[in-house]
Copies of this chain bind each other. A is one copy, B any other.
Amino acid sequence: MTDAFKGKLSFLKDRVTKRIEQVIVPKSPLSLYDPMLYAVSSSGKQLRPVLLMLVNEALGGDLAQSIHAAVSLELIHNFTLVHDDIMDHDDLRRGRETVFKRWDENVAILAGDGLLVMAYLELAQTSPDSLAKVLHVFSQGILEVCEGQTLDKDFETREEISLQEYYEMIDKKTGQLFAVACQVGALLAGAHEEQTAAMVQYGKMIGRAFQIQDDLLDAISQEYVFGKNIGSDLEEHKKSFLVVHALNSPYRDKCERLIKKEKITSGDIQKIVQIFKKIGTIDAAKNEILQTLSHARNALAELPANENRDFLSELIDTIATRKS
């Protein structure tokens, strides 16, 4: 990572964090606002708002124009995490207890609802010229995230999932908010149609690669690095890239019984990951990530050559090398 990009990332994240601190403040009833604050205070990678602002600047926009939509998107992302963690009974997120685990399910439902509504409140500050369009793109995007999460839950109990179905699911569940980030960044800069379409493609590919990498890290990372429980996808019978790839491979017989066990132990997880390595599933995931990211890089050709385009190119590299 170049120093220039590092500096830019840290500057943009700082702006987002500062604005979030203005937007979500501890007030009464604390039993609503404390969990909301907790959810956003470990701010994570802030990839989505950073993308929105970088794309916007690369196309001639500026921060004053994009900050509210960017912050709104980060709040939306946090809303999805808080609700997903209830549904998945996940205990750990960004190295800390989830809202669901630290408080309870009711608190997490309300905190998630509150974050989503706060996101719309923040979005309402977008320039009135673009508001209707941005509101539509955001809402359509969140709806697709709900569809993706529904498919993700449905797939847990379905026997056969094709790679195509897997992609449909992750494109909605994860790719969509990345695509929305890039689309809205472009819209707010007044980009023309081809540029906007290219940015949507860039975001979608970044999101897809990000999710496959997430599936990979869930199997081969370490908890203290990843900040989430390792092997939780297998435990929850998620149809991750690895599982779908292995079950659609000629080596299906080698892992099917273990993957489909009702109660999967940590010993089982180790065995399954060993099989994934042996039958080429881990390599397939790594290849898929690189290929997807090359599509993202191609999409950047539609942008004028400038420093921000270089940053968007550097951002691609961080996806492939991320460890958490």
Which residues does A use to contact B, with CB under 8 Å? 28-29, 31-32, 83, 86-87, 105-106, 109-110, 112-114, 116-118, 120-121, 123-125, 128, 131-132, 135-136, 138-140, 142-143, 146-147, 149-151, 153-154
Q: A110 — which chain B residues lie within 8 A by C-beta?
A: 83, 87, 146, 149-150, 153
Q: Which residue of B lies closest to A86 (CB)?
A: B109
B83 and A153 contacting across the interface, CB-CB below 8 Å: no
Q: A114 — which chain B residues lie within 8 A by C-beta?
A: 143, 146
Q: How many copies does the complex hold?
A: 2
State the CA gap A260–B289 with chains docked (Å).
58
B151 and A29 contacting across the interface, CB-CB below 8 Å: yes
Q: A106 — which chain B residues lie within 8 A by C-beta?
A: 86-87, 153
Query: Per a CB cutoff under 8 Å, which of B86, B105, B121, B153 touches A143?
Result: B121
Q: Which residue of B lies closest to A138 (CB)?
A: B120
Asked if A121 meets B140 with Cβ closer than 8 Å, knowing A131-B135, A146-B32, A147-B29, the reply is yes
Asked if A117 meets B142 with Cβ closer than 8 Å, knowing A150-B32, A153-B106, the reply is yes
A121 and B139 contacting across the interface, CB-CB below 8 Å: yes
State the CA gap A197–B132 with chains docked (Å).
26
